[in-house]
Amino acid sequence: ENGAGKSTLVKIISGAYHKDSGEIRIRGKVTEIRDVHHARELGISEIYQELMLVPGLTVTENIFLGNEKTSSILGQMDWRLMIAKTQERLSELGMDISPAARVADLSIAEQQMVEIAKALMLESDILILDEPTGSLTQKNTEDLFRIIHQLKKKGVSIIYISHRLEEFEHIADRITVLRDGRAVGTSRLSEIDIPGIIKLMVGRELTDTFASPGDYRPVQTRLEVRDLCRLPRVKKLSFIVHAGEIVGFAGLVGAGRTELMRCIYSADCADSGEIYLDGKKTAMRSTADAVRQGIGFLPENRKDQGLVMNLSVRANMTLPHLKDHTRWGRVDQKKEMQAVREHIEKLRIVTPSTEQRVLYLSGGNQQKVIIARWLATKCRLLIFDEPTRGVDVGAKSEIYELMRTLTAQGVGIIMVSSDLPEILRMSDRILVMAEGRLTGELLRNEANQEKIMALMLGGKSIGSKAN
């Protein structure tokens, strides 16, 4: 589960953290890993759950950072060689990204693939991947699995951490489960099934990791978007979301889903178009306006866009609605603390205290803090962009149940997800995007992965269809 110690263990093996006790043996020899550079010398490379790229540098500069290639004659940077090798790695991963592109201009999924390319460039003997597919599409994931199988054939040892348990059947030989900082079981893949893994993870059986679909009947229109445009990623889109409805948005990397959500939340300004809430045209100029209008947003990039990493769990939860805990111009700390503790307990957020800095929580628990923030408000519309990225199966079940609880209260939910099973099971309606346009709309009872994939790859545009 989140907080079980997986990422901490990875950081010990890769030299970012020092162990308190115990042994690490590499090729049968007890080894003290001094730091990250020493780990690299020992043939260990890693891809952390949180991206470790420099946004202002290019793809090539990030991939070769600390591993630059120089000319044997003049000792200068051999940019031609580095750019060629970068292009080669990106092509292997099936990515159409320019080596000269700035990382800041890439989507989260594209940045994740750059991280993978960077680790592969080191040609290490031991490769650690911590939630590598959390923001990847099915095609990106398949390309990664193909590379993993190639590496295994070359004798590379791989530690692969994932909450997407179905991935293990494609790549794993053995599975080790951690709970509360301890290894609670190791089995060969052929000796354990997904329910068995879940039981080891959470210490109990989960009969279904998805909330059962609600009995949804459209009544009131909560959100209406008319001809919204922000070139080049969002091209004259129109759709509606009903009260008590979950509308899932599917699409490949670069389809424009995140850009659309940022426009609705006023994080980015649209070039043209109109947004209506409960039938009333809105004039939002900022995210503060969106919050006042009753819109909440859980962004795809929680670290940079969703949280203030150096602030506490308490401060992050109450930041957008601090006035609700204020009396006579002063924060009522008792009232604030009571609300925070209730949500920590409700969402099972693993933190030593309410004052722990969010920086030190696991990725899944950071996600829960953002969700708790919006649960504390009276939002009419919630936008969840990859809500279960980096979240374990137990927490997924809780998040799905919360989403259903919110829709039962009349909240309209937009859910962007790259996980097609999640889209299919949670959505009342599914809207599919490709190249900035809507290419299809499917009801839950008529949707399947094949239909969605066909629409994701282009399909027939539905233009400005709104319902």
Share of the chain above pLDDT 90, in %: 43
CA 50: distance to chain centroid?
A: 9
Question: What is the arithmetic mean of pLDDT over 154-168?
Answer: 87
- The residue ranges of DSSP E strands in 180-232, in sequence order, are 182-188, 221-230
Tokens standing for residue 438: 């809507």
pLDDT at 280: 94
pLDDT in tens, 60-83: 999 999 888 888 777 788 999 999
| Cα–Cα nearest to 297, from 287, 284, 285 | 287
What is the C-alpha to C-alpha distance for residues 117 and 169, in angstroms, rounded to an integer? 23
175: helix, coil or strand? Answer: strand
Sheet with strand 126-130: strands edge to edge: 44-47, 126-130, 157-161
pLDDT band (50, 70, 90) for residue 356? very high
Question: What is the arithmetic mean of pLDDT over 416-431?
Answer: 90
DSSP secondary structure code for residue 122 in this structure: T
What is the C-alpha to C-alpha distance for residues 145 and 172, in angstroms, rounded to an integer? 10
Which residues, other chains included, contact 287 with Cβ-Cβ below 8 Å and sequence gap of 6+? 265, 266, 267, 297
Tokens standing for residue 248: 């899932």
Tokens standing for residue 392: 């374990």
What is the C-alpha to C-alpha distance for residues 369 and 347, in angstroms, rounded to an integer? 9
Question: Model's pTM, two decimal places?
Answer: 0.65
301: helix, coil or strand? Answer: coil
DSSP string, 399-418: HHHHHHHHHHTT-EEEEE-S
pLDDT band (50, 70, 90) for residue 305? confident
What is the C-alpha to C-alpha distance for residues 263 and 284, in angstroms, rounded to an integer? 10
Are 424 and 449 a contacting pair, CB within 8 Å?
Answer: yes
- The residue ranges of DSSP E strands in 36-173, in sequence order, are 44-47, 126-130, 157-161
Q: What is the dihedral of CA 6, 8, 14, 15, to 10 degrees?
A: -170
pLDDT in tens, 86-111: 999 898 888 888 999 999 998 877 88
pLDDT higher at 311 or 325? 311
Amino acid at 25: R
What is the C-alpha to C-alpha distance for residues 289 and 254, in angstroms, rounded to an integer? 27
Give the pairing type, strands 437-443 and 429-434: antiparallel
353: helix, coil or strand? Answer: coil
| Cα–Cα nearest to 248, from 451, 442, 467 | 442
Average pLDDT, rounded, for the chain: 86
pLDDT at 467 over 50: no
pLDDT higher at 154 or 321? 154
pLDDT at 427 over 80: yes
pLDDT in tens, 252-283: 777 899 999 999 999 999 999 999 999 999 98
| Cα–Cα nearest to 323, from 359, 291, 300, 356 | 291
